[in-house]
Structure 1
Amino acid sequence: MASVSGTKRIKTTATKRQKQKKNSKPQTFLSQRHKKNFEESQNRRLLMERVVEQLPREEPQFAQEVWRRHWSNLISFPEPANIDVVREFYANARSYLDEPLPFTSYVRGRPVAFDANTINSFLNTQWPWGNSTCHYSDANRTNFAGIDYEEVERTLCLPRGHFHRNRQGQPLHIKRSFLTPLSKYWMAFIHANISPCSHMSDLNVSRALLLFLILQGKPINVGNIIAHEINDCANTALKGRPGATFCESFAPGRD
């Protein structure tokens, strides 16, 4: 059975020793606003990637699809992240109106791109369709208009499994207990390193649609999804910061 490090989403805070650690190069910020952003992030907890340690023999379809999509690098990450580097990355990744470079941060004074092409190259994943968007990005851009949610339920869920809906009948999430065994493996995979979150007991609409398109065999630009996850997090007042190990992995000045 596939195992994921820990039974719960790993949340970490920088330890006193980490906070006091002297880096070989000083932290640098693009502006006073970015520095203030860094200082305000010190008491925010990080959501660290949870590594899927092995592919399950019980669900060969899962393993085969991971390899077919060249996503095997998503199941293995290097050593734990340097928390200070991650916080600096996110502080400088925040965009203000007078900044010309989107999807670019700075670490130790050097630019660090996190656009879709850079991430796909880092992960050695393939997106051969150039600037064309994938099915998930197209659906997300239209707020999933026209999606047949009953078909999604039939694909992802056990018999009688369904979306929890609001009073207007709009889908909100699917409980993990409603998912098929194959869908549960994919849920863990998505929550681990594509779209990290702290709430692991259900699958929200956007992640459910991503899983649906994966199971339908549709091309997915995973680098684009991760890039927007990082960008959205850097520019919103969320407590967590996803993608910690990933961000540090290609940042300069690693210790």
Structure 2
Amino acid sequence: MPPRKKQSKGASSSSNYDAHKFWDEKAEENYAKILNKSIVKERGFDLSFPRTGIGFMITARHWEEFSKPPPDAVISLVREFYANLKVKHDHLKVLVRGKMVAFDAHTINTMYGIPPIMYDEYEEYRAEEVDYDNILQTICIEGAKWRMRDNV
């Protein structure tokens, strides 16, 4: 069965797009742009030393399943996901082959059987007040000054 084509809205436009795969014409254009780009496959982690370094963090957070090398992906689905994501996502859900696919932390954690994190060092760090002058004095040469941009 050939893919469904949906007439785009707009009086002067005559372009079509595959509404089963893409939000709109822009998403289909994004797909065409990334079609020839290479994809770097995820590799997983070597957990042969689970009590040191990253192995310790993976074990402590119960991320063993999440850290295994993943199975081969269907590259066309990955590209459709990113093509649509760049155009629009609805509350951390994106269209893939006519289905809304959630990609929020809760969904991913549930899929991999990851329990909730009771103590989050990163969030604790973000909540701390940052002494930017101390950072400047510690890592820069004497006399260095911060240059701030608007909206940063």
TM-score interval, normalised by the smaller of the two chains: 0.5 to 0.7
Moved more, 110-119 or 41-50: 41-50
Of 98, 120, 128 in structure 1, the residue corresponding to residue 109 of structure 2 is: 120
1:30 is matched with: 23
Q: Distance in 1 between matches of 2:127 and 2:95?
A: 28
**How big is each residue's C-alpha offset from its partner over 1:148-188, in whole Å with a ceiling of 9 and x where there is no partner?**
86xxxxxxxxxxxx97x689488xxxxxxxxxxxxxxxxxx
Please show how residues 200-215 of structure 1 align to structure 2 within 5 Å.
none
Listed one character per residue, the Cα deviations across residues 102-131 of structure 1 (whole Å, up to 9, x for unaligned) are: 2111211101000010111122112256xx
Consecutive unaligned residues in structure 2, runs of 5 or more:
1-17, 147-152
Alignment of 1:60-209 (within 5 A): 60-62=51-53, 63-96=55-88, 101-127=90-116, 134-137=120-123, 139=125, 145-146=130-131, 168=144
Q: Which structure has the higher relative contact order (CA within 8 Å, separation 6+)?
A: 1
Partners of 1:135 and 1:32 in 2: how far apart? 42
Gaps of 5+ in 1: 1-25, 150-161, 171-255
* Structure that is richer in helix per residue: 1
Structure-1 residue corresponding to 2:9? none
- Identity %, equivalent residues: 24
Root mean square deviation, CA, Å: 3.6
Which residue is 1:48 aligned to? 41
Question: Structure 2 CA distance, aligned partners of 1:115 and 1:92?
Answer: 16
Per the normalisation by structure 2, the TM-score is 0.61
Provide, for residues 59-89 of structure 1, a one-character-per-residue CA deviation record: whole Å limited to 9, x for no partner.
Answer: x234444222101113214421111111011
Please tell me whether the aligned partners of residues 73 and 123 of structure 1 are also in contact (alpha carbons under 8 angstroms): yes
